[in-house]
Amino acid sequence: MNVGNVVQVKAKDGPKMTVNKVFDVNGVSTAECVWFEGCDLHKDTITVAALEAVNPE
């Protein structure tokens, strides 16, 4: 997982997100992801194991 990758949560058909940062939280690889819904920018941290890379459209 690298900064700039386009990802999506594996378990559901959610938004395509861009990885902004990758870091460890208590030994767990975590990614800070950003995405837009309309004009609103959202940001969240998600474990890398829960993400999969997708092809940008």
**What stretches in the chain show pLDDT beneath 50?**
none
Domain segments of the chain as ranges: 6-53
| β-strand pairing of 6-9 with 28-37 | unpaired
Cα–Cα distance for residue pair 24/16, rounded to 1 Å: 22
Question: Which residue carries 């990802």 as its tokens?
Answer: 7
Q: Which residues contact 54 (CB under 8 A, 6 or more apart)?
A: 6, 7, 8, 16
8 Å CB contact between 1 and 31: yes
pLDDT at res. 13: 80
- pTM, rounded to two decimals: 0.85
